[in-house]
Amino acid sequence: MAETIYTVEKDTKVPFNNNVAFCVGTGRMGLALQKEYQEQLALVQEEIGFSHIRGHGLFSDDMAIYQEYTDENGKKYAEYNFTYLDLVMDSYRKLHIRPFLELGFMPEKMASGEQTVFYWKGNVTPPESYDAWCALVQATLRHLMDRYGAQEVTGWPIEVWNEPNLPGFWKDADMEEYFKLFARTFAAIKEVDERFRVGGPAICGVEDEKWIRCFMEFCRKESIPVDFVTRHHYTTEVPEKDGHYGYVKLREPEEGFANLQTTRDIVDSFEEFQGMEIHITEFNTSYIPNCPLHDTNQNAAYIAGQLSRLGDMNESYSYWTFGDIFEEQGVPFTPFHGGFGLVANGGIPKPTFWTFKFFKDLQGTCVHRSDDAVVVRTEDGSYRGIAWNRTMEGCGEDRGFTFRLPMDVSEEKEYTILKKTVDEVTCNPLKLWHAMGEPSSLTEKQKKLLKEGARPFVEADRKKLTDGAAEVCLTVRENGVVYFEVSAVKAGGDRGYCYKRVIGK
């Protein structure tokens, strides 16, 4: 077993931008009307607590916002129905999460064409009338401001469209037409209230460098003071299809980080946009919602490495998605089907769920960061850390980690080590489901058992300091993620109670 020792010196500070809980993705907005969706989001919010949520379908027909009627003279008029929008936004507010508004897709009655995407047929053509589109955007924002307050709503980031560089998401991937949409939409939003922050171009993959550069050039040419730049980030090769599923190979992380750095460099090459916020409004390993990798411990360990570095170049990075109530390719057949979510249907946390929980708890001054671990020191002098062991298929082995951490103590000579382990042995609901026979419809008993098998293994110990330092020893199995906390033990206990006598020592 490979052994790694990390010694932290007193007063060490290491750069680490941890914005793990700023935003998370969701399926189309209309799915928020479902009970299971709300239960999964409530679980995510209770354990992790994201600040924002972003998804498609704000203006798709299932939300029913855009309507038309014809008067007695045969003239058409627009009208707006915010019934479902209010239900969704009210439910988000109850769970203490705000929208990162993505403006799309096109209402059928407003669209210039019939091209759609996904099982639920989101229209991806430009508006027949840009004036009508801008009026829809403005009416929606004004309604939200009236309902929830201008101060609140103007703080919600707004992104114009989704992946217009892909012909499946924007007719013909027409760059000139998208820039027209962006310019008109940007102006319409700022007319409602200058405080709104608006960004784009929300591109993914194909010709990303060209699109980012051309977008910045367009904003410069048209004197558009864009507020932030958005893009997406996925890290697998093209899937190999088999039945309902797509099997993928992970790319080495450095490829993805180099690509993100290119975006950062392009934006910074424009003097007026230098240092501008870049938000990754979607990221995951695979970009398909039927990839079994998403349900695995390998995914959890790989994502740990991503979360340790994505903040270096980006203001935020939104995992796609929080849960598996999701229908881009139709309704899934089984609870474990390779969905994007942190939570499987049935309310079962996947291993990657805990990677996010651990990073959310990693608040403090960073004192160590490497390719396999991050440690922070909190204000009270305790430590929190994460170590992971991502291994490629067929060549994995356990790894040993030792962290030597200086502690400022006076009377306290002992410290507590709390460990939470997520790996293929201790927290692997996918393996448990497989052992059950891979049932497609779970009974309540099966759901309960899977939830029990989806919890981290928790252990704790008390040790004495050595030369004023705590020593944390971890064994991280292949594809494992281990979280730990180290804090001084305060003197206490009841008169006559002796733990050593209790356990026979």
Encoded amino acid at 67, one letter = Q
Whether residue 168 is predicted with pLDDT greater than 90 in this model: the reply is yes
Beta strand extents in 204-308 (DSSP E only)? 228-234, 240-242, 245-247, 278-284
- The model carries a pTM of 0.94
Encoded amino acid at 146, one letter = D
Q: How far apart are CA 182 and CA 127, in angstroms?
A: 12
Task: Name the one residue in this structure whose structure tokens are 């281990």.
Answer: 482
* pLDDT bucket at 409, cuts 50 / 70 / 90: low
Nearest to 386 by CA among 399, 406, 368: 368
Give the list of residues 6+ apart from residue 313 with CB closer than 8 angstroms, or none: 257, 260, 261, 263, 264, 278
Give the mean pLDDT of 388-395.
75
* pLDDT bucket at 482, cuts 50 / 70 / 90: very high
Options 47, 102, 194, 282, the catalytic residue: 282
Give the mean pLDDT of 465-487.
93
How would you classify the pairing of strands 23-26 and 52-55? parallel
Confidence (pLDDT) at 467? 83
Give the mean pLDDT of 54-77.
92
Give the mean pLDDT of 107-132.
96
Residue 282 known to be catalytic: yes
Residue 108 known to be catalytic: no
Nearest to 454 by CA among 483, 475, 431: 431
Is 359 within 8 Å of 352 (Cβ atoms)?
A: no
Residue 2, class by beta-carbon neighbours within 10 Å (0-12 exposed, 13-18 middle, 19+ buried)? exposed
- Long-range contacts, 304-307 (Cβ 8 Å, 24+): 304/355, 304/358, 304/359, 304/386, 304/388, 304/390, 304/481, 305/253, 305/371, 305/372, 305/388, 305/390, 306/235, 306/253, 306/256, 307/18, 307/20, 307/355, 307/356, 307/359
Options 39, 152, 159, 163, the catalytic residue: 163
Q: How far apart are CA 454 and CA 323, in angstroms?
A: 15
Q: Kindly compute the dihedral angle of the four CA atoms of residues 231, 25, 59, 146, in this order, to the nearest 10 degrees.
A: -100
Q: What mean pLDDT, rounded, does the chain reach?
A: 95
Is 454 within 8 Å of 427 (Cβ atoms)?
A: yes
